[in-house]
Structure 1
Amino acid sequence: MGTTGTTHQTHPVGFGAVAATYPARTAVVDPDGTQVTFGELAARCHQLSHALRAEGLVPGDCVVAMTPNRRAYYELRLAAGQIGLYLTPVSHHLTAPEIAYLVTDSEAKAVFVDASLLKAAGPALDEAGFADEGRFVIGGGEGGGGPWRDYEELLAGHPVTPPPDVTAGDVMGYTSGTTGRPKGVRKPLSGRPPEVTPFVRDFMARLDIRPGPGVHLVVSPLYHAAPGTFSSIALSFGHTVVVAERPDAEQILRLVERHRVNVLFTVPTMLHRIVRLPESVRNRYDTSSLRSVVHAGAPCPVEVKRRAIDCLGPVLTEFYGATEGSATALTTAEWLTKPGSVGYPLAGSELRIVDVEGRPLPAGETGTVYFRLPAPFEYFKDPAKTSGALLDGFFSAGDVGYVDEDGWLYLCDRRTDLILSGGVNIYPAEIEEVLLLSPEVADVAVIGVPDEEWGRRVVAVVQPEADVTPGAGLADRLIENCRSRLAGFKVPRRIEFTQRLPRTPSGKMLRREVRDRYANP
């Protein structure tokens, strides 16, 4: 939490510098409206840092946090971040065996759990054989499979001043695990005081996010990489962070108006829901304070983005990356000149598109996307997986795409989602974009299912809007619309209907679940 200098004379950068300069500025607003200032938040982070050191934790150790969207997330992240610890946020939607795996695999020395989640966490820690003395409950309470130490008692009596010898920690997030077991993404610690790096400053500037007074709205789960990281950077820039939990589209607009929000991180699924709101509902709310509505996490259909720009103004920004690192970014103005692009390489990054044998492809040709990361990483305790994700020092998340003659990146789909039918590559995202143009479609997933003749055939699983009746008539209309916009081999051979498609809390489609359910005729 040390001072890292300023990008402008009047705007300190770094949480510690902001807290020292503006201790009375509101830092975090919890979902229930409770507020904490920068000075108050810094004091609690310092107490927690001293307490963790007193517990025997040393640089390189890991602590696990299992909390809803609450202020405690930032206390843990900031405290770990100034005494050289790794913080691993864990989703409370996981099962006990999944939580136990993460706690064990991360080699956690302490686990912090919100009182509302003890019933899920207790059995998981019991299964992991995790020691009672390392279990801390936030918000008081007993139960959940064993004794818990109180979080407030842990902090009590420790100094509210910065700990000596501050040294930067980091977040060790786990990959989503939608295929196979998740692995921790671990980056080497710098051994220096915490800082906002030039890469981060440049990255944020590309998204029109800058130091100074501002308001950042959190609408996605903080245990995911981007929402947690972006809002933590917001604190380091001096922004007030307004935390929401599972808001719907209209509630997001209401929060933007109420708090005069400047920056919002979201996903294409939520943008789709916002543009689908009746115009009379959208027009109730003043969203003119918005400066940067950042989206990432999945390809955003071109038409959805156009409509979102019409609704919210030319404030949409986008980046492409993964838990392992980020590669590109672009603004609305740039996107309008390059519709469908996910951006131009960030400073220090570089793109490479390769064929199935790893050979570089020229502009315009589709292949696997690799990019140079701003910092090295490893999958914790899995050197084979680490080396498998790298090619000559470049990293790939498994996405398929191409760059144009000017170097702008366009994504087609993920390699694992690609459908090979009759020897032809079919990209589900392209078909989904067409289906989402229908006002009768709330959500859609396109998959490939086994076919004796073609190898795979295209099936669309559609979630109709609430007031739309599924059936043969709707299927015929959707297929006809696809025929008017897509080559014949891309048109779904079958359309299935479902009340709700499975998505993670961050909005990512769980295609494996869809494939498992609809793979058979």
Structure 2
Amino acid sequence: MDQTVSPLFRLHPQARVFRDGGTVAPRAAPAPMRLVARPVRDALPGLLAAFAAGEEFCVHANPEQAQRMPTHGTPGFVTAVTSGTTGAPKRVRRSHGSWIASFRVNAGLFGLRPDDRYAVLGGLEHSLTLYATAEALYLGAGLNVLSGLRPDRQWSGLERASVLYATPAQLRLLCAVGADRTQPGLRLLLVGGGFLDAATRAEAARAFPTARIHAFYGASESSFIALSDESTPDGSVGRPYPGVEISVRDMGSAVAAVNEIGEIWVRSPYLFDGYAGATSPDTVWQDGFLTVGELGRIDAEGHLFLTGRKSRMFTVADRNCLPEEVEALLLGLPGVAEAAVLPRPDTRRGQVPVAFLWGQLAETDRAALEAGARAKLDPLFVPREIRILADWPRLASGKTDLRALEALL
């Protein structure tokens, strides 16, 4: 056990890291931000040292970029990098205490214990992996670091794991290599970083037959917002996570009616403190509530349904098109594993949707795909072109690289 860390900041005697409530031990002067910019295994010692010293730190995949980052020298803060799905990645600053609060909630919700063994699949520069790693360290649990490995080797690395954090994209790759096998030792699967569709949930239930499966909705800026389970209606991301207050508001900031689409605002103890060296026009604070430009609705039972991002919405013949809704319908077509919809300028309608698809598809499937889209969609929102890709562009986080697809238009 590391004797340099005060026991006041340990949940369990085996836990070696984290400052409680965002506080730190007295120090003469704040240290500069620690830059952790190495592969995961090599980065862990630096991560531990930053936690132990109460230093602000940032994990970055690129050492050269990391060295150019401005530092704040603020003790007790984490700086994580957003995925950058639709724009340049932003660095998000949050207090240690904002994560500690959710560590404790998760421990109670899911019965997390020091004898659990976590598994993480991505790089530490991504907030989901960083969060799961920090939670395991705080609880004193074991940790299997499986980043950078092929999916088949990641599958083998899960044999001793009891808790897995994964994105839907990572989960689909894992389930594909384990199509004829199961991992009965996994007891808890937590899915974030994207919407967990019914087909992927069913595959996960087959691959991990004894695991409780919970998908959560959140963002780097907000952390947990909503949590779902097997009783959640199709298409919903669940009800508010404990301690979270969700308010859906119309464009005039009035509270939206039941099932009325509006902007999602959140108030909770898990919110971030601000961006480091960047801003975002979609991120707004108001009376303790935060929005990052996500749109959605809440039904009469309190289930939250996402409809898209304000920044991705475009108009077709003066009608608002939410590409995420079109993508969700396209994913229901046979053989489609990934779908993305982007706008293309059009002289008659202003803009029209173009769909990129990937999966077990061939050019001979195009007519059936077009017919399926016409049957499911409003005529204005039927893609004017469907492109079937041989390879799907992904960010390091596993999410779709929309900027790479925009370059193909």
- TM category (shorter chain) comes to 0.7 to 0.9
The aligned residue for residue 13 of structure 1 is 11
Of 308, 323, 332 in structure 1, the residue corresponding to residue 220 of structure 2 is 323
Q: Secondary structure at the match of 2:230?
A: helix
Matches of residues 62-101 of structure 1 in structure 2 within 5 Å? 62-70=33-41, 72-92=42-62, 99=65
Query: How far is the alpha carbon of 1:441 from its aligned partner?
Result: 3.3
The aligned residue for residue 265 of structure 1 is 165
Of 184, 194, 212 in structure 1, the residue corresponding to residue 114 of structure 2 is 212
Please say if 1:255 is aligned against 2:157.
yes
Matches of residues 60-459 of structure 1 in structure 2 within 5 Å? 61-70=32-41, 72-92=42-62, 99=65, 102-107=66-71, 169-178=76-85, 181-187=88-94, 197-206=100-109, 208=110, 210-257=112-159, 259=160, 261-276=161-176, 281-284=178-181, 286-313=182-209, 315-335=212-232, 338-374=233-269, 375=271, 377-381=273-277, 385=280, 388-438=283-333, 440-459=335-354
For 1:402, give the aligned amino acid.
R
Structure 1 portions without partners, runs of 5+? 6-11, 20-37, 46-52, 110-166
Query: How far is the alpha carbon of 1:266 from its aligned partner?
Result: 0.9
Q: How many percent identity over aligned positions? A: 25
Contact conserved, 1:203 with 1:346, CA < 8 A, in 2?
Answer: no
User: Aligned equivalents of 2:8 and 2:185: distance in 1?
Assistant: 28
Gap change, CA 1:351 and 1:331, over 3 Å in 2: closer
Gap change, CA 1:386 and 1:435, over 3 Å in 2: closer
Q: Alpha-carbon deviations, 1:153-172, whole Å to 9, x = none? A: xxxxxxxxxxxxxx962311
Query: How far is the alpha carbon of 1:433 from its aligned partner?
Result: 3.0
For 2:183, give the aligned amino acid.
T
Gap change, CA 1:184 and 1:60, over 3 Å in 2: farther
Contact conserved, 1:402 with 1:410, CA < 8 A, in 2?
Answer: yes
Query: How far is the alpha carbon of 1:78 from its aligned partner?
Result: 2.2
User: Aligned equivalents of 1:218 and 1:189: distance in 2?
Assistant: 20
Contact conserved, 2:266 with 2:291, CA < 8 A, in 1?
Answer: yes
Gap change, CA 1:182 and 1:283, over 3 Å in 2: closer
Give aligned pairs, total.
396
Structure 2 portions without partners, runs of 5+? 19-24
For 1:267, give the aligned amino acid.
T
User: Aligned equivalents of 1:266 and 1:212: distance in 2?
Assistant: 20
Contact conserved, 2:164 with 2:188, CA < 8 A, in 1?
Answer: yes
For 1:69, give the aligned amino acid.
V
User: Aligned equivalents of 1:407 and 1:370: distance in 2?
Assistant: 15
Query: How far is the alpha carbon of 1:326 from its aligned partner?
Result: 2.1
The aligned residue for residue 119 of structure 1 is none
User: Aligned equivalents of 1:13 and 1:108: distance in 2?
Assistant: 28
Query: How far is the alpha carbon of 1:104 from its aligned partner?
Result: 3.3
Gap change, CA 1:219 and 1:361, over 3 Å in 2: same
Gap change, CA 1:350 and 1:77, over 3 Å in 2: same
Contact conserved, 1:443 with 1:463, CA < 8 A, in 2?
Answer: yes
RMSD of Structure 2 on Structure 1 (CA): 3.2
Q: Alpha-carbon deviations, 1:406-445, whole Å to 9, x = none? A: 2221111222222322233333233333333455334322
Query: How far is the alpha carbon of 1:236 from its aligned partner?
Result: 1.8
For 1:306, give the aligned amino acid.
A
Gap change, CA 1:59 and 1:386, over 3 Å in 2: farther
Gap change, CA 1:421 and 1:389, over 3 Å in 2: same
Gap change, CA 1:205 and 1:74, over 3 Å in 2: farther
Contact conserved, 1:327 with 1:350, CA < 8 A, in 2?
Answer: no
Query: How far is the alpha carbon of 1:227 from its aligned partner?
Result: 0.7
365-374 or 299-308: bigger deviation: 299-308
Gap change, CA 1:2 and 1:318, over 3 Å in 2: farther
Q: Secondary structure at the match of 1:507?
A: coil
Query: How far is the alpha carbon of 1:371 from its aligned partner?
Result: 0.6
TM-score by length of 2: 0.85
The aligned residue for residue 130 of structure 1 is none
For 1:380, give the aligned amino acid.
A
TM-score by length of 1: 0.68
